[in-house]
Amino acid sequence: MSKLRHVETLTSAPVVGQRYLVPTVLYPWFGSTEAWPVMGPKHTDAEHIGFDVPHFHVDVRFLSDAQVRRIERRRNFGDIESIAAGYPLATSHTGSEAEPHPEPVFRRLTCRRPGHGYPRHAAGARQGLRALAAAYAGRKCGRNGAGLLVCPHKGFVLGSLEPDAERRVVCPLHGLVVDVATGSVVGGGACAEAA
Ligand code: FES
Q: Is 192 helix (H, G, I), strand (E, B) or coil?
A: helix
User: Could you give the CA distance from residue 27 to residue 98 in angstroms, rounded to a whole number?
Assistant: 12
pLDDT band at 9 (very low <50, low <70, confident <90, very high): very high
Question: How far apart, in whole angstroms, are the C-alpha atoms of residue 31 and residue 35?
Answer: 13
- CA of 152 from ligand 1 middle (Å) equals 7
Q: How far apart are CA 139 and CA 132, in angstroms?
A: 12
Q: What angle do CA 28, 33, 37 make, to 5 degrees?
A: 80
**CA of residue 14 to ligand 1 center, whole Å:** 19
Which ligand 1 atom sits nearest the alpha carbon of residue 171?
4
Q: Is the pLDDT of residue 145 over 70?
A: yes
Beta-strand relationship, 32-45 and 19-29: antiparallel
Q: Buried (b) or exposed (e) across 111-129, using 16+ Cβ within 10 A?
A: bbeebbbbbbebbebbebb
- 146 or 78, greater pLDDT: 146
Task: Compute the mean pLDDT over every residue in the chain, rounded to the nearest whole number.
Answer: 89
Q: What is the pLDDT of residues 41-70, one digit of tens each?
A: 999 999 998 999 999 999 999 999 999 999
For ligand 1, atom 3: residue with the closest CA: 174
Closest-lying ligand 1 atom to the alpha carbon of residue 158: 4
Distance CA(161)–CA(166), nearest Å, equals 13
Residue from 151, 168, 179 whose mutation best tests the ligand 1 pocket (most atoms within 8 A of CB): 151
Residue 27 in contact with residue 92, Cβ under 8 Å? yes
**According to the model, what pLDDT value does residue 92 have?**
85
pLDDT digits (tens, 9 = 90+) for 87-126: 899 998 877 788 899 999 999 999 999 876 676 554 445 7
- How remote is the CA of residue 161 from the centroid of ligand 1, in Å? 13
Compute the Cα dihedral for 34, 38, 41, 42 and give only its sign.
negative
140 has pLDDT over 60? yes
* Interval between CA 95 and ligand 1 midpoint (Å): 31
Kindly give the distance from the C-alpha atom of residue 56 to the centroid of ligand 1, in angstroms, as a whole number: 12
Pocket of ligand 1 (CB under 6 A): 40, 151, 153-154, 156, 171, 173-176
- Domain extents in the chain: 1-115, 123-195
- Residue 159 near residue 141, CB atoms below 8 Å: no
pLDDT tens digits, 30-40: 989 999 999 99
